[in-house]
Amino acid sequence: MLRRRYLRPMATPTTPAEARSLLIERVRNLAYLYQPDDPFTLASGRISPHFFDMKPVMCDPECAHLLGVLVHDTLGKIGDIDAIGGLELGAVPLTGIAIAKAPSGSSLRGFIIRKESKGRGGRKTGNPPGIEGSTLKTGDRCIILEDVTTTGGSALKACERLAEIGCQVVGCITILDREEGGEDAFGDADIPLHPLLRLSDIRA
């Protein structure tokens, strides 16, 4: 006879401060590697002793809850957001979390931007090639999502893609800012960067 395994009831944070404190510990345990003697080559091409893989974090049920709390707290501070999403692959699970955690009756829409466009656009959505998910309309106020920000280059390309179709990118929410120039790059583009965590939080 198979025995069913039950997860322990998860303590639900009641405040963003609690969610942030718990997420710092989870990121340290699930996502962070530090190798000063054998540094990593990052996607940006930079060499660093610090490495983060946020996929185990985004795919963990407790962390998904914490991320949902923090993302929606940030959205509430920004205000009046029509759509949220980002570049594959890192932003895909985070977009799902943001949409799943939206309050009942929310009109928030989600989207995914492909790194390489397919030859056709959305047959039902009317989106151009390379933009999947909900229909995006001219004038939509959008938030870009990112799992880890180093230079900001990839996410800024996604911002440019949205601007091409008439959307207004009003900010970027990233799980973690590595504090290596990404915030300045977004500032130069007049797009506020809203990190849920920073490298200095993890190293503290």
Identify whether 30 is preceded by a cis peptide bond (ω within 30 of 0): no
CA 66 to chain centre: 13
pLDDT value of position 10: 53
CATH number of the structural domain 16-203: 3.40.50.2020
> pLDDT, tens digit, for every residue of 167-178?
999 999 999 999
CA distance 75 to 145: 11
For the entire predicted model, the pTM comes to 0.89
pLDDT value of position 9: 53
